Amino acid sequence: MKPGQTQRTPWIVGVSGASGTPYAAAVLRALLEAGERVDLVVSRASRLTLLDETGISFRDAHWQDDLREWLSRGADGKPDTFQVDIGGVRHWSAGDLAAGPSSGSYPSKGMLIVPASTACVAGVALGLSKDLLQRAASVTLKERRKLVVAVRETPLNGQTLRHLVTLDDAGASVVPASPGFYAGATHIQDLVDFVAGRVLDAAGVEHGLYRRWKGELGRGDATRTT
């Protein structure tokens, strides 16, 4: 590092194969808007989900173009909804177990897994490290950094619940992808942004994705007149 330079300390964002790629897109956009640096790991299974939910093929060799197209879309699939500068993103292939985030000496602020599949939850809870996403999560836990797991599945069976308790005991924050309605949602994007905002709340990242509860009844009704 050259004199005068500051160390790049990113948030690692892992995208697993669960349904819910709009949640990941909303988190990524908010992190970049907040001026955060991001290291992105997109699992192999999540690429199939992304293709199914958006029609976008996420390719390692063309990740910048594919990411830019993905983040520009709204939760309703409409293209060119958002303008996003992805200059703060570094991409690591999910199969690259020699990547920076695979080591505890690699600096990061923590890791957000959004959405997190039950298979991903199990792998992290059991310390399997079968790909870079799981390995980076294991490193985050052992280094006592923030790990936020946005689990997206229903119903949850006993085995998954035990895995989630294991992650909680290890210091992770478990954030179910469960949108709230008190913020006055009028569009699918509002519901997605609520979940993304709760993920960022758990990480301690400032954002303006949803209206916070202030103890005043009736403020969530968008049709209410005064």
* pLDDT of 70 over the 60 cut: yes
> What per-residue confidence (pLDDT) applies to 136?
98
- In three-state secondary structure terms, 47 is helix
13 strand-pairing partners: 40, 112
Q: What is the pLDDT of residues 130-183, one digit of tens each?
A: 999 999 999 999 999 999 999 999 999 999 999 999 999 999 999 999 999 998
What does DSSP assign to residue 215? S
Return d(Cα 156, Cα 173) in angstroms, integer: 17
Mean pLDDT of the chain: 94
What φ, ψ does residue 114 adopt, rounded to 5°? -150, 120
> What per-residue confidence (pLDDT) applies to 4?
62
Distances (CA, A) of 22 to 29, 152, 165: 11, 12, 26
Contacts of 77 (CB under 8 A, 6+ apart): 54
Lowest mean pLDDT of 30-39, 94-103, 211-220, name the range: 211-220
Residue 226: pLDDT band by 50, 70, 90 thresholds?
very low
| Chain centre to alpha carbon of residue 93 | 16
| Chain centre to alpha carbon of residue 92 | 15
Could you tell me if 177 and 204 are in contact, meaning their C-beta atoms sit under 8 angstroms apart?
no
Q: What is the pLDDT of residues 10-44, one digit of tens each?
A: 999 999 999 999 999 999 999 999 999 999 999 99
Query: Does 15 or 3 have the greater pLDDT score?
Result: 15
Task: Please tell me the pTM assigned to this model.
Answer: 0.93
Lowest mean pLDDT of 43-57, 59-73, 185-199, 207-221, name the range: 207-221
Return d(Cα 97, Cα 136) in angstroms, integer: 9
Which of 175-196 are b and which e, b meaning 16 or more Cβ less than 10 Å from the residue's Cβ? bbbebeeebebeeebbbbbbbb
Tell me the residue type at 122: A
Residue 221: pLDDT band by 50, 70, 90 thresholds?
low
Could you tell me if 34 and 197 are in contact, meaning their C-beta atoms sit under 8 angstroms apart?
no
Return d(Cα 20, Cα 50) in angstroms, integer: 9
Residue 217: pLDDT band by 50, 70, 90 thresholds?
confident
Return d(Cα 61, Cα 57) in angstroms, integer: 11
* pLDDT of 1 over the 70 cut: no
Return d(Cα 32, Cα 94) in angstroms, integer: 21
Return d(Cα 101, Cα 10) in angstroms, integer: 10
